[in-house]
């Protein structure tokens, strides 16, 4: 829970309010449009605002309501706000998570706020992503990862008995292999690809020749591997992660007489 050192409730003009993506989520324009279609000024309520040391007001909770007011032409009005003072950026991000606990928020959105709030695991995973020249983002694009649940699953060894509590080296090898095979293309950064390659490194720890793995994967489009894994999953009754790992291990073994991975 965030320690709220100094708070007060005041009326703040909308023109004074600012947004900071390190603290808040991305604006959902479709959500704003739905709110505008049923606009009720009496339902706006009280927003949470961080008063920074430079005197600027940053919206912590209520961003969509502020955008809504601008959308319907009420951008010069004032809103009641709980002003939080004497907070750091990390505390402001933690406050966002706190007040949004019972509101829909994607894993990626929450992960990004955990990074800002100083969460050890989130910061470690984010650092490994940045090592490859990539970033975590809510928008899917080349060199931008939205599959944070897959990243953390590999990092904690989810689905592998006996895996270490943290597997930083495994996640590093996973991301480096994907980068060298597909240069960080959008399709290669899907959660199933990350989890499949990660499971291979977790299962066959120390037995994988990384240059060989890169060569084998680079000859296949990620979506073709995913399609084969879906077929494998239907036939074997497996989950997608293990199915991806099985298909990738098969590609690695193809044409090899020695140093093959266990296909089972």
Contact between 64 and 27 under an 8 Å Cβ cutoff? The reply is: yes
Q: What DSSP state is assigned to residue 26?
A: P
Q: Are residues 100 and 140 in the same domain?
A: no
Q: Can you give the pLDDT at residue 16?
A: 94
Q: Can you give the pLDDT at residue 169?
A: 92
- What stretch of H or E contains 52? none
Quick check: pTM over 0.75?
no
Q: Can you give the pLDDT at residue 1?
A: 47
| Domain-located, residue 30 | yes
What does each of the 264 residues of the chain score in pLDDT, given as a tens digit? 445 456 778 889 999 999 988 888 788 888 888 888 888 777 788 889 999 989 899 999 889 999 999 998 888 888 888 899 888 899 888 888 877 765 566 788 889 889 988 999 999 999 999 999 999 987 888 999 999 999 999 999 876 655 555 689 999 999 999 999 999 999 999 999 999 999 999 988 778 999 999 999 999 999 999 999 999 988 888 788 899 999 999 999 998 877 888 644
Question: Other CB atoms closer than 10 Å to residue 240's CB: what's the count?
Answer: 16
- Pseudo-torsion of CA 16, 20, 24, 28, nearest 10°? 80
Question: Which residues touch 193 (CB under 8 Å, ≥6 apart)?
Answer: 178, 187, 222, 225, 226, 244
| Domain-located, residue 119 | no
Q: Can you give the pLDDT at residue 261?
A: 84
Q: Can you give the pLDDT at residue 133?
A: 96
| Domain-located, residue 259 | no
CATH code (residue 99): 3.90.1530.10
Q: Are residues 85 and 159 in the same domain?
A: no
Its sign, for the CA torsion 48, 101, 171, 236, is: negative
Q: Are residues 157 and 46 in the same domain?
A: no
Contact between 63 and 27 under an 8 Å Cβ cutoff? The reply is: yes
Q: Are residues 96 and 171 in the same domain?
A: no
| Domain-located, residue 10 | yes
Domain interval for residue 203: 134-253
Q: What DSSP state is assigned to residue 261?
A: P
Rounded Cα distance between 14 and 31, Å, is 19
Q: Can you give the pLDDT at residue 218?
A: 96
Closest CA to 2 of 113, 62, 110, 87: 87
Number of independent structural domains in the chain: 2
Q: Are residues 45 and 150 in the same domain?
A: no
Q: Are residues 77 and 144 in the same domain?
A: no
**Backbone phi and psi for residue 183, each to the nearest 5 degrees, phi listed first:** 60, 30
The radius of gyration computed from the CA coordinates of the chain, to the nearest angstrom, equals 23
Q: Are residues 90 and 33 in the same domain?
A: yes
Q: Are residues 94 and 33 in the same domain?
A: yes
Q: Which two tokens stand for residue 108?
A: 């990626």
């Amino acid at each position: 829970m965030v320690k709220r050192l100094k708070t007060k409730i005041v009326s703040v003009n909308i023109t004074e309010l600012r947004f900071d993506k390190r603290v808040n989520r991305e604006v959902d324009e479709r959500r704003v449009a739905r709110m505008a279609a049923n606009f009720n000024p009496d339902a706006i309520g009280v927003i949470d605002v961080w008063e920074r040391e430079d005197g600027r007001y940053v919206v912590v909770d209520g961003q969509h309501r502020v955008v809504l007011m601008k959308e319907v032409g009420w951008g010069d009005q004032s809103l009641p706000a709980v002003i939080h003072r004497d907070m750091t950026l990390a505390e402001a991000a933690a406050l966002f998570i706190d007040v949004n606990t019972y509101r829909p928020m994607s894993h990626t959105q929450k992960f990004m706020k955990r990074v800002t709030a100083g969460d050890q695991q989130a910061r470690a995973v984010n650092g490994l992503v940045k090592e490859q020249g990539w970033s975590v983002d809510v928008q899917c694009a080349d060199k931008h990862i939205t599959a944070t649940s897959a990243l953390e699953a590999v990092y904690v060894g989810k689905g592998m008995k006996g895996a270490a509590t943290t597997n930083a080296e495994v996640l590093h090898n996973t991301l480096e292999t994907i980068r060298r095979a597909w240069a960080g293309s959008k399709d290669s950064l899907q959660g199933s690809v990350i989890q499949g390659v990660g499971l291979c490194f977790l299962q066959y720890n120390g037995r994988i020749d990384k240059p060989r793995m890169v060569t084998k994967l680079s000859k296949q489009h990620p979506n073709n591997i995913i399609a084969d894994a879906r077929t494998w999953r239907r036939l074997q009754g497996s989950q997608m992660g293990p199915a991806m790992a099985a298909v990738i291990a098969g590609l690695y073994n193809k044409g090899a007489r020695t140093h093959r991975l266990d296909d089972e």
